A = this chain, B = another copy of it.
Amino acid sequence: MERTGAAAVIIGNEVLTAKVVDANGPHLIRRLREVGIPLRSVEIVLDDVDAIVDAVARARSRAAYVFTSGGIGPTHDDVTVRAVALAMGRKVVRLPEMVELIRNRSDHMTEEALRLADAPEGAVLLPLQGTWFPVLTVDNIFLLPGVPQLFKFQLEAVLERLRGRPVHLRCLYVRLGESAIAAILDRVALDMPHVAIGSYPVFDATLDYRVKVTIESAEPTPVEDALARIRGGLPADAIVRQE
């Protein structure tokens, strides 16, 4: 399978037990879309080494870039570094430059604080303006912290280094139900496999449409072609508007 785009692994007992609502997944989804990097999957898993190893290995097999969120602090439930190393078949090593950063920061350093300096072998630290804690990366896996403001901050430092490709998107709002428009959508989707066509019904009588159809691709011409074909296959009064 071709490894393209990005995949995310959210490490979060606290999310799956409803102690906090995950903000990092939705933020990552939005930012990747804005910079034009397609996202293949988001997996939320428990703080469990086996579950993380499995999810990271899978993310790596399908995507060029892997983002993890959470589990990189100094406590017993912070197992992301170990799991990423296992998923890559590498050892965990202590990074001397990170030990220095931790020493410079604290007078009474505990042994546990030094766990922050552990990383999969071959890891690279991306320095960050305005904070002592760099971004931990290894082979296009980005190990971001779970705390939302740190996650956002570190994510921007990563995205600056990646190159996306903007997406061309058109939307058609239709007065008919999905069953009535399925045949024409089928035909166009089948003929134009490189155009992604989505069909999203709404069940809200206060809206003036029943289905939103989305048409997107990396190139504008096929999007306009598909839009014209779908419009042509529907009764003229079925279309509420397009965007």
Residues in chain A within 8 A of chain B (CB atoms)? 13-22, 25-26, 29-30, 32-34, 38-47, 51, 73-78, 106, 109-113, 115-116, 147, 149-150, 167, 178-183, 185-186, 189-190, 196-203, 214, 216
The smallest C-beta distance from A189 to any residue of chain B, in angstroms, reads: 4
CA gap between A40 and B47 in the complex, in Å: 10
A21 cross-chain contacts in B, Cβ below 8 A: 26, 29
Number of copies: 2
CA gap between A223 and B240 in the complex, in Å: 58
Task: Find out whether the CB atom of A29 lies under 8 angstroms from the CB atom of B43.
Answer: no
Task: A19-B198, A112-B179, A112-B182 given; name 4 further pairs at CB < 8 Å.
Answer: A17-B39, A17-B216, A20-B200, A41-B44
A214 cross-chain contacts in B, Cβ below 8 A: 14, 19
CA gap between A15 and B9 in the complex, in Å: 15
A110 cross-chain contacts in B, Cβ below 8 A: 179-180, 182-183
